[in-house]
Structure 1
Amino acid sequence: MDISEEILNLKSVTFSPADLAVYYAAGHSEPWRHASHLDLINEAILLAFNGGIQRVAAFLPPRYGKSHLISRYTPAWWLGLRPDARVVMTSFSHTRATDWSKDARDVLNTVGPKLFGVRTRLGTGKGKEDNWGVESFNESGEYVRREGGMLAGGIRTGISGVGADLLIVDDPIADWADAYSETFQRTNWDWWKGTATNRLEPGGVVLYIQTRWCQEDLAGKILSLAEDQPDQFPWLVIRFPEWAEVDEVTPVSIVGGANNVTKELIDWVDEKNAEKRFHRMKGDLLWPERWNLRAVKERKAKSCEGGELEWQAIHQQDPQPGSGLVFNPSFFQVVPTVPVDALRVRYWDLACTKGTGGDWTVGVAMSYSPEEQAFYIEDVIRGQWSPGEVEKNIALASQMDGYQVAIRVEEEGGASGKILIGVFARMLSDYDFAGRRAKGPKIGRWRRMVGAMERGNMYLVEGAWNQMFIRELTTLPGGKNDDQADAAAGAYAELIDMDRLSPHVEVV
């Protein structure tokens, strides 16, 4: 049994999660990618392990190694050194949290006996990967059960009734739909206040890692509250933009808990910010060995299809004011006329709801001018109609638009959707008609249109419908109705496809 006394000396531990990653990877043909941003996170984990801070938050772009370090190697390392500790792992889904729990278990099982004299044992839960314990080698040469172990669960589920000496929150938000949903924001916040923080044992540590989405995401709310609570725990915040837009010499800061900030913590932060290895000058990339300039430019171009705010939040970790709204009021430019030479489509989002209180049937007429490289929302028709009235109004609108305007109707899933499209195809057989399946989450479809708005390439033609259209879109994603946004996004996607366009994005 090869157990290093130096490693097991908890008072002066220098062996780190990154060291464990290097050791494990060397024996398994899994090279550990070294990077200065991971070095800083690794040193912050050591600081927390030794009692220098109890709350650490790290914000990085996707695919920059943060989860491998914190969610895979840190739990194995923590339990190897403290086999009586309880580690709770959470993520946006139970499956994701369990995957990291399995990885941590496999690492500890593989190298734990040699490095720490510790191995895993199965938990009492229904799964073998989301709930497991540890046992250590005693002086008699036998493994004995210890109090520690790991429990994994999705956000808002799976961790009640269990204490946590280490709570890991790894990307609690899955996508744009969750990030901008007021309901999801509220339930996430309730989970954090009512479940997550109540699981912490005295002296418990929180390692929180996330890609930022908007100012109203869970991380934003946690840090905003911390700023107003001088008697609570301070947060050590590490922020790494993907592409330095200014000279960056202070990647780490302290947020909140002013009355509990120690001189040792201040000195540690000042020391790290003074180290040149963590400095970047304007234009420097975060991890050029993995993401070179060409790759980052491609990521920026792709991100900016959904608007500049998306790039600032997800890749730069700097969500801007208003980024919690999908459609900003400043996006809407009203013009009196539209170019004659343009591609045109009217896209219908159907509801078939008679009366008030439900969804609306909406038909958005949009055009694209190749000469001006601009989109024009020409007209919006909406109503809460019965199925018969829907057919009648679509037929009437088609006659008024003329044969030069393509007609598209969103096709719902299942046999009923195909049958309905067949009805319209027969009714509109003289027109350019087709059904269209919506692709991807609706908030993603909206944001592609937002990109054109932000670049000043989309206009509203003056009409009585303008005010209602703008009012509905600027309340999203929390507004009562989103039918006009869905229809407009469908029309935009159709025009892109009709002319095989790629939205123009200038990357500098």
Structure 2
Amino acid sequence: MTTLATLPPDWRTWPLPAQERLLKTLRTAARKRKVTTRPQWETPGHLAAAIEPTTIQTPALTLIDQALIEVAEGRCDRLIITMPPQEGKSTRVTTIGPLWMLTRNPDLRIAIACYAQDLADEFGRNIRNHIISNDGTDDTLDLGLRIAPDNGAARRWRIDGHRGGVRSVGITSGLTGKPAEMLYIDDPIKDMRDADSKAWREVVWSFWQAVANTRLAPGAPVVIILTRWHEEDLAGKVLAAEDAHRWKVLNIPAQADHDPNKGETDPLGREPGEFMVSARGRSLEQWRQTRVAVGSRVWAALYQGRPTPAAGDIFQRDWWREYTSPRWIERPDGSCWAPGADEVAMSWDMAFKDTDGSDYVVGQVWARYGLELFLLDQVHERLSFTATCAALREMAAKWPQATLKLVEDKANGTAVINSLRRQVPGLVPVEPDGSKEARARAVTPFIEAGSVYLPAPELCPWVGSFRDEHAAFPNGSHDDQVDACTQAINRMLLAPILAGDLIVEADELDDELDAFEISSY
């Protein structure tokens, strides 16, 4: 091979065009030799900073880097990443991510899918352009990669001398050709309008089932990156499927909303209520302004990663009253007591499979003061039968004042009652009467009249989920908290009034009570 050391001694006497051709050949050969010793970057973030030194690295992006490393090292083959919009997730995951993977393995066949072909093309083009612009010439960074001269279109290109490269497709397109050895799905839903379209959600789901899954090579990892628009978007559907256990979910909410009392933690290690460090430099006040401007539904979905369905027509958010000081005292033995309460009771809705797609077990503690009802405590988890029994025993020990324990008398509830009847006193089976909606509508006059109080989020962080589920009912995916709530209000407020045990003035009770056709339980 000709090198600078072995140049013909008379090469400088050659015609100028011949000299230039020779030098060009030598430079090309030198670059190819560099490719055989490709540089390595520890994380996608390190690569991003090498390409663009002004890259901002937030704690959220560091967490994403760690998740992508797990994928690259084979420790995770199904990853969902959700984070607020415009915080750098797509650039880091779907542009820098594939580029970083190719620097590690230029033979890797990568596919990128988006809601539209144009967006997918943009990702493919950006990755390709980074390779073209960083080839070591003119003192640029050398990624150690070259685009094959005969295969460099934006939506489908290959690494020169290797079989790896990138294909970019829209959700409605086919994923033809060689099997994908890694798949990125970035924003399969464009906006709220598409998210609320059941037809489009089915298109996305069909792409995943019939196109993406069938074109994956054995062992190929999949990374889904999205802002959550709808509870039945692609992330919601795969997490409700039988293989949901395969997926690692990295949800980084704009504002920490975990409940430490339930053992929950924030992925960034924040305190409840703390906002994330923004890649765009958003201040605390700007985060708050955004939360107000976009509204509760969009905030919960796009910014918190916990979408709720369109509002239902039964429970209005502004009907609930709120209390900000504890209505209970904690005693030396760890139990709780509600001073002055006329009645304290528990209400349980049972469903135990202990899987991600199953319903929740819900146990609530309510205290009645005259004609006002206060929610004091709640268990809301997916539990096995054994764990459900343990949770009920623990709640009974924590709230000894709650001598009445209402348990919906369906298959699961009956099993719990039979198992615990001799261990936990006061278990009362409740036979549901009428539809869920009918039972809910029967108690709404009390809520609308301001007779039902919920704890402020500072007291009980789980109350946000309670409010969301009621606001979505009956359109939501889950109604377990609704069932337990209506069961309690029905038994503690409505039934005593209908039975004459609670005396109220006529103007204190909505005329709708006259039309109630519901059992005392």
TM-score normalised over the length of structure 2: 0.50
Which one of 278, 288, 298 corresponds to residue 289 of structure 2?
298
- Secondary structure (helix, strand or coil) at the match of 2:123 reads helix
Which one of 223, 228, 235 corresponds to residue 247 of structure 2?
235
Which one of 101, 109, 134 corresponds to residue 78 of structure 1?
101
Residue 319 (str. 1) matches residue 333 (str. 2)? no
Counterparts in 2 of 1:178 and 1:131: CA distance versus 1, 3 Å: same
Deviations 1:287-312 (Å, cap 9, x if unpaired)? Answer: 246221121122111211xxx22211
Could you say which residue in structure 2 is the equivalent of 1:151?
167
Amino acid at match of 2:212: A
Mapped partners of 1:188, 1:131: distance in 2: 22
Q: What's the CA shift for 1:474?
A: 9.9
Residue 118 (str. 1) matches residue 145 (str. 2)? yes
- Secondary structure (helix, strand or coil) at the match of 1:72 reads helix
Q: What's the CA shift for 1:68?
A: 0.6
- Secondary structure (helix, strand or coil) at the match of 2:106 reads coil
Residue 54 (str. 1) matches residue 45 (str. 2)? no
Mapped partners of 1:148, 1:286: distance in 2: 36
Could you say which residue in structure 2 is the equivalent of 1:167?
183
CA contact (8 A) 2:184 2:223 kept: yes
Mapped partners of 2:144, 2:207: distance in 1: 36
CA contact (8 A) 1:73 1:107 kept: no
Residue 280 (str. 1) matches residue 270 (str. 2)? yes
Alignment of 1:37-48 (within 5 A): 37-48=60-71
Counterparts in 2 of 1:214 and 1:167: CA distance versus 1, 3 Å: same
Mapped partners of 1:281, 1:122: distance in 2: 52
Alignment of 1:479-498 (within 5 A): none
CA contact (8 A) 1:94 1:155 kept: yes
Mapped partners of 2:76, 2:189: distance in 1: 25
CA contact (8 A) 2:82 2:252 kept: yes
Amino acid at match of 1:40: L
CA contact (8 A) 1:94 1:153 kept: yes
Deviations 1:14-59 (Å, cap 9, x if unpaired)? Answer: 6221111000002xxxx21111111111111111111111111111
Mapped partners of 1:330, 1:303: distance in 2: 21
Deviations 1:443-491 (Å, cap 9, x if unpaired)? Answer: xxxxxxxxxxxxx9xxxxxxxxxxxxxxxx99999xxxxxxxxxxxxxx
Could you list the runs of 5+ residues in structure 2 that have no partner in the other structure?
1-30, 319-447, 449-471, 477-521
Q: What's the CA shift for 1:129?
A: 0.8
CA contact (8 A) 1:55 1:234 kept: yes
Amino acid at match of 1:18: G
Counterparts in 2 of 1:20 and 1:288: CA distance versus 1, 3 Å: closer
Deviations 1:295-349 (Å, cap 9, x if unpaired)? Answer: 1122111211xxx2221111111123xx1x355443599xxxxxxxxxxxxxxxx
Mapped partners of 1:165, 1:105: distance in 2: 18
CA contact (8 A) 1:179 1:217 kept: yes
4+ runs deviating over 4 angstroms: 1-8, 112-116, 247-252, 473-477
Amino acid at match of 1:134: I
Could you say which residue in structure 2 is the equivalent of 1:342?
none
Mapped partners of 2:70, 2:171: distance in 1: 26
Which one of 51, 57, 61 corresponds to residue 24 of structure 1?
51
Mapped partners of 2:174, 2:265: distance in 1: 34
Which one of 330, 338, 346 corresponds to residue 315 of structure 2?
330
CA contact (8 A) 2:83 2:251 kept: yes
Deviations 1:363-391 (Å, cap 9, x if unpaired)? Answer: xxxxxxxxxxxxxxxxxxxxxxxxxxxxx
Mapped partners of 1:283, 1:237: distance in 2: 21
Could you say which residue in structure 1 is the equivalent of 2:115?
92
CA contact (8 A) 1:156 1:195 kept: no
Mapped partners of 1:155, 1:251: distance in 2: 34
Percent identity for Structure 1 against Structure 2: 26
Could you list the runs of 5+ residues in structure 1 that have no partner in the other structure?
136-144, 253-272, 334-455, 457-472, 478-508
Which one of 208, 221, 227 corresponds to residue 211 of structure 1?
227
Considering only CA atoms, is the larger Rg found in Structure 1 or Structure 2?
A: 2
Mapped partners of 1:67, 1:7: distance in 2: 25
Could you say which residue in structure 1 is the equivalent of 2:159?
134
- Secondary structure (helix, strand or coil) at the match of 2:84 reads coil
Mapped partners of 2:50, 2:41: distance in 1: 14
Aligned-residue Cα RMSD (Å) equals 3.1
Which one of 177, 193, 214 corresponds to residue 198 of structure 1?
214
Amino acid at match of 2:303: H
Mapped partners of 2:144, 2:230: distance in 1: 44
CA contact (8 A) 1:57 1:209 kept: yes
Could you say which residue in structure 2 is the equivalent of 1:221?
237
CA contact (8 A) 1:238 1:251 kept: no
Mapped partners of 1:244, 1:34: distance in 2: 19
Could you say which residue in structure 2 is the equivalent of 1:421?
none
Q: What's the CA shift for 1:245?
A: 3.0
CA contact (8 A) 1:185 1:216 kept: yes
CA contact (8 A) 1:327 1:476 kept: yes
Counterparts in 2 of 1:150 and 1:251: CA distance versus 1, 3 Å: farther
Could you say which residue in structure 2 is the equivalent of 1:309?
297
Residue 33 (str. 1) matches residue 56 (str. 2)? yes
Mapped partners of 1:5, 1:130: distance in 2: 26
Could you say which residue in structure 1 is the equivalent of 2:20?
none
Q: What's the CA shift for 1:197?
A: 1.5
Mapped partners of 1:3, 1:284: distance in 2: 47
- Secondary structure (helix, strand or coil) at the match of 2:230 reads coil
Q: What's the CA shift for 1:116?
A: 4.5
Amino acid at match of 1:237: V
Counterparts in 2 of 1:123 and 1:155: CA distance versus 1, 3 Å: farther
Alignment of 1:455-494 (within 5 A): none
